[in-house]
């Protein structure tokens, strides 16, 4: 057993180490952030007021970004348009080297969050002005 073998975790099914590595820091940060008073100008408040709206918008946006990245990298995108995509077996449609480095994943994540800030802020204002039960 080495230190590196401790980091050998499985996501599916989630191993105890995986849960500790992912949920532990989140719970710790939640405890720290709970003591901080957030103002209305804080971007976290905007996303916190419209979580379902953000969730419903981020899925198609991430897929569009994945299609664009596939087109830029492989000059084709047909494998991104299959539902469900085939990752294994004889019908494997993804290129053998498909995938991106972690820094690219973080940049895409940051870009999606920044791109959805304005729509979320707009929808938050709409929700505050309209008292309809549909928007609550």
pTM for the model stands at 0.69
Write out the DSSP string of 73-101.
HHS--GGGSSSSPP-SSTT--S-TT----
Measured at the CA of 93, the angle between CA 91 and CA 95, to 5 degrees, comes to 135
**What's the pLDDT at 6?**
66
User: Which segments of the chain does DSSP mark as H helices, in order?
Assistant: 3-6, 16-33, 43-49, 51-74, 102-129
- Cβ atoms of 81 and 67 within 8 Å: the answer is yes
**What's the pLDDT at 109?**
94
CA proximity to 95, closest of 86, 104, 83: 86
- Separation of alpha carbons 67 and 81, rounded Å: 8
- Cβ atoms of 77 and 71 within 8 Å: the answer is yes
Measured at the CA of 118, the angle between CA 113 and CA 123, to 5 degrees, comes to 110
9: pLDDT strictly greater than 90: no
CA proximity to 70, closest of 94, 86, 87, 103: 94
Model confidence over 50-76: pLDDT tens digits?
999 999 999 999 989 988 988 888 887
Model confidence over 29-53: pLDDT tens digits?
999 888 888 787 788 889 989 999 9
User: What's the distance, CA 18 to chain centroid?
Assistant: 18
């Amino acid at each position: 057993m080495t230190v590196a073998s401790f980091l050998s975790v499985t996501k599916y099914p989630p191993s105890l180490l995986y849960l500790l590595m992912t949920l532990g820091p989140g719970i710790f940060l939640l405890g720290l952030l709970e003591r901080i008073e957030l103002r209305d100008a804080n971007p976290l408040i905007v996303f916190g007021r419209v979580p379902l709206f953000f969730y419903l918008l981020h899925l198609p946006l991430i897929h569009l970004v994945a299609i664009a990245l596939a087109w830029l990298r492989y000059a084709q995108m047909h494998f991104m348009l299959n539902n469900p995509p085939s990752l294994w077996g004889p019908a494997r449609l993804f290129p053998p080297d498909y995938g991106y480095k972690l820094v690219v994943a973080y940049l895409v994540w940051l870009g999606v969050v920044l791109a959805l800030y304005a729509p979320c802020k707009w929808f938050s204002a709409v929700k505050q002005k309209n008292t309809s039960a549909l928007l609550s």
